[in-house]
Amino acid sequence: MSDNLTKAEMIDTVSQKTGLNKTQVGNVLDTIFETIQDALISGKKFTMTGFGTLYPTVRKSRPGRNPQTGEAMVIPGKLVAKFKAGKNLKEGLEGIEGISKWVNKT
């Protein structure tokens, strides 16, 4: 397994733990993420107690420079999604053995 959890790996794991087939798990997973995405796009936040909260927020426009020409420009504002970790996730991350591997990652 790689350093990242892929959708296929998640489907395999959930399928093994629940006894559902991979197609069923894939359909449920797609529906869950589609529902979360629709909520964020409509301005709602999504909270899963203990895990965290995804919420939409506005990133204001700001001055910037074109990296190719150096010309000053305005970077337009936009709606972005942010995540705030919940209590269980925070505590779980604090308890990782070998945390220096992550903190001092180069």
| Residue 36 amino acid letter | I
The answer to whether the beta carbons of residues 61 and 44 sit under 8 Å apart is no
- Distances from the Cα of 85 to the Cαs of 2, 30, 102, in angstroms? 23, 22, 17
CATH architecture for segment(s) 51-106: Irregular (4.10)
Note the pTM of the prediction, 2 decimals. Answer: 0.73
Determine which helix (DSSP H) or strand (DSSP E) holds 96, and give its type and residue range. Answer: none
List the chain pLDDT tens, one digit each, 106 residues.
567 899 999 999 999 999 999 999 999 999 999 999 999 999 999 999 999 999 999 999 999 999 999 999 999 999 999 999 999 998 888 876 656 666 766 5
All CATH 4.10.520.10 domain ranges in the chain, comma separated: 1-44, 51-106
The 3 state secondary structure assigned to 18-50 is HCCCHHHHHHHHHHHHHHHHHHHHCCCCEEECC
Q: Which fold has domain 1-44?
A: HU Protein; Chain A (4.10.520)
93 token code pair:
């991350």
